[in-house]
Structure 1
Amino acid sequence: MCARQCSRVRVWGVTTKIVVQAQRRSAAPRIRSIRMLGVVLLPPLLLVSACASDAPKPPASSTSTPWNSTFESAADPAVAPLRGTSVPAGSLQNPALSVKIDNHEAARPQLSLERADIVFEELVEGGLTRYVAVWHSDVPELVGPVRSIRPMDPDIIAPFGGIVAYSGGQQKFIDLMDATDVVSAAFDTDDTGLFARSDDREAPHNVILQASALVARNATVPPPNQQFAYSATVQGSSAAVDGAPVAAINSTFSTARWPGWTWDAAGAAYLRSQEGAPDLDATGAQLRATNVLVLRVAIDGTYGDVPTTTMIGSGEAWVSAGGKSVHAVWSKADQTAPIRLVDDFGVTIRLAAGNTWIELVPSDRGTVVLVP
């Protein structure tokens, strides 16, 4: 205890002490002049030193084991190589699956086209078109209807590596596909039991593939390399930054096939039509794309009635995203090289993160019309 009595008051919100002293007749007049009811207000510094013995003692140093944090920061995200979206690091180690998909009227609606990362539309016999659909970031259980291989398919599919599935084809075209490093799975020679004909469609438009099971059986096949440059957002894509507003993209492959894409601002996507009618998926929803690429391509007549899209070379292109389109040049150096896209100044084009449809429109007979 202090020799003098101590009590506490709060001054400017801080608790301090005042000292109560007995009145002494011998005290100097100047001291009496500041006494108030026996209370003397002393400077704060003096008060602290006067009652220092009452101050709390610091705790003794602890001898317990130091605490170690177990917090682990999340791994840096990765980019889906065929979609450009952000995914957890190491989450997409499966191979890509490329499948020849039928586009005959009897084959529509196709199974799982809406879940493909990239879809190519190519000219085949009779002015019809077929698809090469590539799944990687979202491999569905079933895809189809599956159709036969064509001579340009090895050049389209080889850059993705992984697996290719088709129903069959002329042996010379199968040999071209087998000459690549892509693992082939063909319905005509299937010993896996993963292909089957569906009862709800007419042959030959009814071959269905168990896609996820096929990928699981080839889990050691490496994942694909990134094919295009991407922006993290639609607003940052080259088309949105440098392009002109375009409401519709209409292409003609032949008198039998004229696909179109209409920009849907509310849904922030392009909606697909074929021959003037909405192109629907198996759920009844209209097929949509984040990016639409139109590539003008030469057609090689080496195989007679089977048109061959020339994929190794270069040509004119248009790249659309976010309701805008930018003029471009496409090029492909060799069979295993990806398609490169540059603008009119030679700058690499960035697609928007999302799925992509690529229209391989013949330069000798097809047309491309962009509607503002």
Structure 2
Amino acid sequence: MTMKMMIQARRRSTASRIRTIRILGVVLLPSLLLVSACAGTDDAPQSAAPTSAGTVVAPLRGTSVSAGSLQDPALSVKIDNHPAARPQLALERADIVFEELVEGGLTRYVAVWHSDVPELVGPVRSIRPMDPDIVAPFGGIVAYSGGQQKFIDMMEATDMVNAVFDTDDTGFFARSDEKEAPHNVYLEAAALVARNAAVAPPSQQFAYSATVRGSSAAVDGTATSAINSSFSTASAPGWTWDAAGAAYLRSQEGAPDLDAAGAQLRATNVLILRVDIDDRYGDVPLTTMIGSGEAWVSAGGKSVRAVWSKADQAAPIRLVDDSGVTIRLAAGNTWIELVPSDRGAVVLVP
């Protein structure tokens, strides 16, 4: 009996007991197989630095958590940001979200979950040529719906588990009937992570302060009530400081950007990285991630100028101030806006 026949037989024998999951119309069946891909290394860096006895720093969020509580791998997912894909599911639970320029002046996200992995995330879309450089430092798992073969080859060359909707037969992906294709692919995130629990957890990416008040932006920065940026004439995300909620609230094209529950998306830290765009792939812009450039780091209602740098694909992004001192983020979630230097703009409003 072939593997396909075995799966079909198992599905028939358990058909009366299968529980489907429906959130916002997404119907997913329980996963049946382990995703095949590149394995993580056993000698990966420690996922969290020790703090007080019995606690460690969450490597992608900077919060204090119980030692041994975050041993699963990170999950990076390519998330759609086309208007037809909104509201996205579970972006508000991501540790780190990157926003990048794609074709037609639109943007897409690379969202990274580790501290709080949801049951479902999406809509999931295809990768772009800069994504391997973005996700490689996190290790773990990367999920996407497909892409040009040369970009898939680039991603599969990393030491990450690749979960790809176009070629996946494990049941981790499914389409929703409440949105039109291609904006309707969702992923069983928690199940995928659980099936790859032996893969190493991520190393810490940024320096953190335990409190917003102790962050570099709050200590050394200037008051910033709003952060307005543009990636193109078609994409203009913004952030407004909410003192009551101690976070920046996100908007797109001047309207509040909402999660699936109707709450406005928020971030403890907002990073603006000015990046070069390489047009070697024609209509597909390549955000240059290996190099350096100007940056702004905002937290606690203030912003500090910084310089970002990334030495190679596997290296994390390094942030220093004008004196070369390492920038400390506030403990909490982080959004990173990769704003093009040649066609984008950034305005910090006092």
TM-score bracket for the superposition, by shorter chain length: 0.7 to 0.9
Deviation at 1:75, TM superposition (A): 4.4
Does residue 231 in structure 1 map to residue 204 in structure 2? no
Q: State the one-letter code of the partner of 2:170.
A: T
Aligned to 1:350: 328
- Match of 2:166, SS state, is helix
- Match of 2:323, SS state, is coil
Does residue 124 in structure 1 map to residue 102 in structure 2? yes
Question: Residue 269 of structure 1: which of 243, 247, 267 is its match?
Answer: 247
Question: Residue 54 of structure 2: which of 76, 90, 94 is its match?
Answer: 76
**In 2, distance between residues paired with 1:220 and 1:239?**
37
Aligned to 1:175: 153
Aligned to 1:324: 302
Aligned to 1:248: 226
Question: Residue 120 of structure 2: which of 132, 139, 142 is its match?
Answer: 142
Alignment of structure 1 residues 156-175 onto 2, 5 Å:
156-175=134-153
Cα deviation 1:123-180 (Å, max 9, x = unaligned) = 0000000000000000000000000010000000000000000000000000000000
**In 1, distance between residues paired with 2:86 and 2:176?**
13
**In 1, distance between residues paired with 2:340 and 2:134?**
15
TM-score, structure 1 as length reference: 0.80
Cα deviation 1:25-50 (Å, max 9, x = unaligned) = xxxxxxxxxxxxxxxxxxxxxxxxxx
Does residue 197 in structure 1 map to residue 175 in structure 2? yes
- Match of 1:361, SS state, is strand
Does residue 108 in structure 1 map to residue 86 in structure 2? yes
Q: State the one-letter code of the partner of 1:106.
A: A
Q: State the one-letter code of the partner of 1:259.
A: P
**In 2, distance between residues paired with 1:191 and 1:78?**
37
**Contact kept? 1:330, 1:339, Cα under 8 Å:** yes
Deviation at 1:182, TM superposition (A): 0.8
Q: State the one-letter code of the partner of 2:333.
A: N
Does residue 92 in structure 1 map to residue 70 in structure 2? yes
**Contact kept? 1:194, 1:214, Cα under 8 Å:** yes
**In 2, distance between residues paired with 1:100 and 1:258?**
20
Where does structure 1 differ by over 3 angstroms across 4 or more consecutive aligned residues? none
Cα deviation 1:1-23 (Å, max 9, x = unaligned) = xxxxxxxxxxxxxxxxxxxxxxx
Aligned to 1:49: none
Alignment of structure 1 residues 32-71 onto 2, 5 Å:
none
Cα deviation 1:309-344 (Å, max 9, x = unaligned) = 000000000000000000000000000000000000
Q: Percent identity?
A: 86
Does residue 221 in structure 1 map to residue 199 in structure 2? yes
- Match of 1:307, SS state, is strand
**In 2, distance between residues paired with 1:116 and 1:192?**
24
**Contact kept? 1:75, 1:88, Cα under 8 Å:** no
Q: State the one-letter code of the partner of 1:246.
A: T
**In 2, distance between residues paired with 1:192 and 1:310?**
33
Q: State the one-letter code of the partner of 2:206.
A: F
- Match of 2:136, SS state, is helix
Question: Residue 301 of structure 1: which of 266, 271, 279 is its match?
Answer: 279
Where relative contact order (Cα < 8 A, 6+ residues apart) is larger, the structure is 2
**In 2, distance between residues paired with 1:75 and 1:215?**
28
Deviation at 1:191, TM superposition (A): 1.5
- Match of 2:194, SS state, is helix
Cα deviation 1:243-268 (Å, max 9, x = unaligned) = 00000000000011000000000110
- Match of 2:251, SS state, is strand
Q: State the one-letter code of the partner of 1:323.
A: G
Cα deviation 1:258-297 (Å, max 9, x = unaligned) = 0000000011000000000000000000000000000000
**In 2, distance between residues paired with 1:158 and 1:115?**
21
**In 1, distance between residues paired with 2:84 and 2:168?**
24
Gaps of 5+ in 2: 1-51
Aligned to 1:286: 264
Aligned to 1:155: 133
**Contact kept? 1:143, 1:210, Cα under 8 Å:** yes
**In 2, distance between residues paired with 1:89 and 1:266?**
31
Cα deviation 1:164-218 (Å, max 9, x = unaligned) = 0000000000000000001100000012101000011010000000000000000
**In 2, distance between residues paired with 1:199 and 1:326?**
44
- Match of 1:157, SS state, is helix
Question: Residue 257 of structure 1: which of 206, 230, 235 is its match?
Answer: 235
- Match of 2:104, SS state, is helix
**In 2, distance between residues paired with 1:160 and 1:88?**
21
Deviation at 1:76, TM superposition (A): 2.3
Gaps of 5+ in 1: 1-73
Q: State the one-letter code of the partner of 2:230.
A: T
